[in-house]
């Protein structure tokens, strides 16, 4: 069986963790970073890019690069707020009213779950490379205030990535697991989670390895990106006032402002003012136009008072549901990059008197907690117990369009609740069960999760038949609804999936398409890897040739240098012809020739490293040359025009060769 990992699937960045030797740790990605940007894109050649590679082309190809996808997962078009649509790429509704993302370069529309699955697959591939074994399952975290359809859609994304979801875990709960992992004392903890696109708050009691969630609340349409948007609007309005152009209508300009706003927000967490410079942002009648301005922290905070007010509402709601007073909170755990903003920290201090805990990394704590949960499920950690709650009330629609709540919010899960209902008309043969989730009194004001029909009810006056409806929520927070006619025993049950952006047929179609294209994708990957490896080897060989020429001279290792040069030309020719089969053989020949050159260089360096040996070899070669027969055969002293020289006297110091006595 493969390993189980923990995945923090974030709006801006995603992180993957694993339990190693009983301790949770974060796995770095292929690029060496501990966080992976939650960005998916396609190049002009329709090549898929995920993570940092995709983020690099955000400005140059904004219509084919997709970020902030988490806000669209599991939501229909009518549920989206206007600020969610402030993205450089095209988002539209399909014929069923579901959200779809348009990619011009591939001429396709994608469901958000399909693109999110690419991020999950990237994280898992990096984990498998690090672990050296297959990953079969994952704990995936979601905002605590995600409804059932959003949780189902997250599971669908993992299915498309080929990963089995062992548990859907609330992000604040995961953060608390990481915080209280090695603490044995009893603590009351408030987790304040402000991510890139969502906000959650949870209150829980931690005691001797038992994590008991008391209340949770949040806002799935509020996050750090909304604070960035205020800076973008401020920049755009200033530019429009000065030049009469609205940069928000230009996709590339909008993306550049988004990046500048995010950077300015981060810098204002440590300094009072920060410069914003965007040269050549647009073109006017007199030439190129630029943005050169300075943003002060006080101005930024004045742009966001309503966002801070929206943060207050869920915190007060969670405190009210838990029955705790603010002074009863022992610790405050800040999660998410948005909590680094000074105004957010100050807001938390006004709510809870105790200073926030700084012992956890806000960017990694959720993934660490997911890895801890993976250890609990796999049996590696046996002394921890997690009791979570359902974030929203669940019920069904009754006569008059009212919502009858069966499971109130903040009910501990897993849970099963049932109630008995009857018909509203005489001789009614069937009833329709319409399941809703939310806190409003009227059903239509809440989120519809799905509906099904129980048929075969015997004819009877109104109010006589008894239909028992039961709601079951598992540990993942996923719902199953069943209805039973007590008279006939006829039963109908359904796993609620109606709110997902993808129905089962669409999921199976995408899975089958992935299987059919798996071999083609593998061949493309192998082809690209072969070419890249060949180009890398050629560059290395050219560098070694230059090193050999400097160390040995142009003819110091002529045979080995010549072999490398010939092999380089062969590889370059085959790269131009795209002959991958012959390329593999030529690469092997180049490797062998390069090995011979490296061996020659190594042997020469050993000689140079021993100066006495070098002198000995030098004099030895001179001696061999002086006293060889070939040398004396060509001796200039044997010239018949010169007097004969006595070779026996060559070694005598007392004889001067230019003295007349030296000659016979």
Supply the residues annotated as catalytic.
8, 70, 171, 193
How many whole angstroms separate alpha carbon 551 and alpha carbon 601?
A: 8
- CA nearest neighbour of 257 among 242, 240, 277: 277
Residues contacting residue 38 through CB under 8 Å, at least 6 positions apart: 9, 10, 11, 12, 13, 14, 67, 68, 69, 70, 116, 119, 196
How many whole angstroms separate alpha carbon 279 and alpha carbon 273?
A: 19
- CA nearest neighbour of 359 among 337, 375, 335: 335
C-beta atoms surrounding 284 within 10 Å:
10
Strand partners, 6: 17, 139
- CA nearest neighbour of 170 among 396, 356, 375, 335: 335
Structure tokens at 314: 């869920």
C-beta atoms surrounding 389 within 10 Å:
25
β strands within 422-518, DSSP E: 430-437, 447-455, 467-473, 479-485, 491-495
How many whole angstroms separate alpha carbon 167 and alpha carbon 149?
A: 15
Alpha helices in 9-90 (DSSP H): 52-56
The answer to whether 351 and 209 have CB atoms below 8 angstroms apart is no
- Residue that the structure tokens 């943003």 belong to: 295
C-beta atoms surrounding 52 within 10 Å:
16
Structure tokens at 587: 């690469």
3-state class (DSSP) for residue 14: strand
Q: Tell me how far CA of residue 296 lies from CA of 265, 269, 270, 302, 566, in angstroms.
A: 10, 11, 12, 10, 62
Structure tokens at 446: 């809440």
- Residue that the structure tokens 């690099």 belong to: 56
- CA nearest neighbour of 502 among 120, 50, 75: 75
The answer to whether 257 and 236 have CB atoms below 8 angstroms apart is yes
- Helix and strand numbers (H, E) in the chain are 15, 28
What are the phi and psi torsion angles at 394 (to 5°)? -125, 140
The answer to whether 88 and 255 have CB atoms below 8 angstroms apart is yes
Q: Tell me how far CA of residue 569 lies from CA of 227, 494, 563, 596, in angstroms.
A: 56, 66, 10, 17
């Amino acid at each position: 069986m493969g390993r189980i990992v923990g995945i923090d699937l974030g709006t801006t960045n995603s992180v993957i963790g694993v339990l190693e030797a009983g301790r949770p740790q974060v796995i770095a990605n292929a690029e060496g970073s501990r966080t992976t940007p939650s960005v998916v894109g396609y190049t002009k050649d329709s090549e898929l890019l995920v993570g940092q590679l995709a983020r690099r082309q955000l400005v140059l190809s904004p219509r084919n690069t997709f970020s902030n996808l988490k806000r669209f997962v599991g939501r229909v078009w009518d549920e989206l707020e206007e600020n969610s649509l402030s993205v450089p790429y095209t988002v539209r509704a399909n014929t069923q009213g579901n959200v779809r993302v348009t990619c011009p370069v591939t001429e396709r529309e994608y469901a958000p779950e399909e693109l999110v699955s690419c991020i999950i697959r990237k994280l898992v591939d990096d984990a498998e490379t690090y672990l050296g074994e297959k990953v079969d399952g994952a704990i995936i975290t979601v905002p605590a205030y995600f409804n059932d359809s959003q949780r189902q859609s997250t599971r669908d994304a993992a299915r498309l990535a080929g990963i089995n979801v062992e548990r859907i875990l609330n992000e604040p709960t995961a953060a608390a697991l990481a915080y209280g992992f090695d603490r044995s004392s009893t603590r009351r903890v408030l987790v304040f989670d402000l991510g890139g696109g969502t906000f959650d708050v949870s209150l829980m009691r931690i005691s001797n390895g038992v994590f008991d969630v008391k209340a949770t609340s949040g806002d799935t349409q509020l996050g750090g990106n909304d604070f960035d948007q205020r800076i973008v609007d401020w920049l755009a309005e200033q530019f429009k006032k000065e030049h009469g152009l609205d940069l928000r209508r230009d996709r590339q300009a909008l993306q550049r402002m988004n990046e500048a706003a995010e950077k300015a927000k981060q810098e204002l967490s440590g300094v009072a003012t920060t410069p914003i410079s965007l040269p050549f942002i647009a073109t006017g009648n007199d030439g190129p136009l630029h943005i050169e301005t300075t943003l002060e922290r006080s101005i930024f905070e004045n742009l966001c008072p309503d966002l801070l007010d929206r943060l207050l509402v869920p915190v007060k709601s969670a405190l009210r549901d838990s029955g705790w007073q603010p002074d009863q909170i022992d610790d405050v755990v800040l999660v998410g990059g948005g909590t680094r903003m000074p105004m957010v920290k100050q807001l938390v201090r006004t709510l809870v008197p105790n200073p926030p805990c700084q012992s956890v990394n806000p960017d990694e704590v959720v993934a660490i907690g997911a890895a801890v949960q993976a250890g609990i499920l796999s049996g590696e950690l046996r002394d921890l117990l997690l009791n979570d709650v359902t974030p929203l009330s669940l019920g069904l629609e009754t006569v008059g369009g009212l919502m009858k709540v069966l499971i109130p919010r903040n009910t501990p899960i897993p849970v099963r609740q049932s109630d008995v209902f009857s018909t509203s008309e005489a001789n009614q043969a069937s009833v329709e069960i319409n399941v809703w989730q939310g806190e409003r009194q009227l059903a239509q004001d809440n989120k519809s999760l799905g509906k099904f029909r129980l048929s075969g009810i015997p004819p009877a006056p109104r109010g006589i038949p008894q239909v028992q409806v039961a709601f079951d929520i598992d540990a993942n927070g996923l719902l199953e609804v069943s209805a039973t006619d007590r008279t006939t025993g006829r039963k109908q049950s359904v796993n609620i999936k109606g709110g997902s952006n993808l129905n089962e047929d669409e999921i199976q179609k995408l899975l089958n398409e992935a299987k059919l294209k798996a071999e083609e994708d593998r061949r493309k990957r192998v082809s690209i890897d072969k070419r890249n490896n060949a180009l890398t080897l050629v560059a290395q060989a050219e560098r070694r040739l230059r090193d050999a020429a400097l160390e040995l001279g142009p003819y110091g290792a002529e045979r080995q240098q010549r072999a490398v040069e010939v092999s380089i030309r062969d590889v370059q020719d085959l790269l131009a012809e795209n002959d991958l089969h012959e390329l593999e053989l030529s690469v092997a020949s180049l490797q062998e020739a390069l090995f011979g050159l490296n061996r020659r260089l190594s042997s020469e360096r050993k000689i140079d490293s021993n100066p006495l040996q070098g002198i000995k070899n030098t004099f030895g070669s001179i001696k061999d040359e002086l006293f060889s027969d070939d040398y004396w055969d060509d001796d200039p002293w044997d010239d018949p025009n010169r007097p004969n020289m006595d070779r026996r006297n060559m070694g005598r110091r007392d004889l001067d060769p230019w003295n007349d006595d030296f000659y016979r």
